[in-house]
Structure 1
Amino acid sequence: MAHFPLNHPARPIYRVLSGLIGLYILVFGVWGVVVTLGEPLFGRGSHWVLGLRTNLAFSLASVVFGAFLLVGASRRGNLGHYMNLTAGIVFLVTSILMMSVLQTPANFLNFSMSTVIISMIFGLILLGTGLYDKVGTPEHAEEVRRHRNHPIGAPRP
């Protein structure tokens, strides 16, 4: 069984980071819906929003994922941990799959190489935040605090 660090001291920073990614994706999605409204759902036009090429389907999916990530970042329990892990894996898998069909008619989300790169970066960041934002019991938090501040490992004067 894998070991996920519990009650990591930088957990609030990781939650803010995943929240910022969620906010970017949500803004991208909403702006993309406004720009591509009236176009075919899986259109292959040259609509660019915030440096990424998009179509209506990708914009709608971005609105859903952005809201999903913001909900995960706002939760204090382990829900955010699981949501970030899931979103990270989904972003990585989607970016690899879309890169493999980039120059074909199967590019139904209208990805460009910049979209693939950003999706991979977001996927790796979300996977990393998901690995370190797991919350444990208060007893476990106290045990970890005592372990970190144990005098055996402290330097002698």
Structure 2
Amino acid sequence: MAHFPLNHPLRPLYRTLAGLTGTYILIFGCVGLTKTVGQTLFARESTWTLGLRTNLAFAIISVIWGLIVVVANLIGGNVGHYTNLAGAAVFMVTGIYMVAFMQTPANFLNFSVSTAIVSLIFGVVLLLAGMYDKTGSPESQRAEQVYKSTSIPRGAPRR
């Protein structure tokens, strides 16, 4: 099972980075909606928004995910933690999928190389935020520290 540190001292920084990432995604989606209005949902035209290629479907998805990430990081707590981890998985899987199928009809979100790279970077930022923004009570944090200090004797090899 994965272990995420509780109440990491840089948690506000990571949450801010995730919130800024969500803000960019939201702005990209909104601008993309204005540029792709009137096109078919999965158009493969050369429509560029904020340096990334898009279509109406990708713009709508970006607005939805941007809102989710921004709101979750504004709420904070473990809502942001789990949302950032889920967003990281979504952006990384989507980026890898689109790299694999970029020159085929399966590129239904109209990705370009730059769009795939930015999607992967956003996935890494959200993963980093999700790994270090877990919150817990002071009691659970103390219990975690006690467990870590007593579970493995100093000098013992880890398995």
| Identity rate, percent | 56
| Structure 2: unaligned runs, 5 residues or longer | 147-159
Alignment of 1:8-157 (within 5 A): 8-141=8-141
Displacement, 1:140? 3.3
Give TM-score, length-normalised by structure 1: 0.89
Q: Which amino acid aligns with 1:104?
A: T
Give TM-score, length-normalised by structure 2: 0.88
Cα distance per residue 1:3-43 (max 9 Å; x no partner): 11000000001111000000000000000000000000000
Distance of 1:2 and 1:46 partners within structure 2: 42
Equivalenced residues, count: 146
Q: Which amino acid aligns with 2:57?
A: A
Displacement, 1:142? 5.6
Displacement, 1:106? 1.2
Q: CA-atom RMSD, angstroms? A: 1.5
Cα distance per residue 1:44-91 (max 9 Å; x no partner): 011100000000000000000000000111123201000000000110
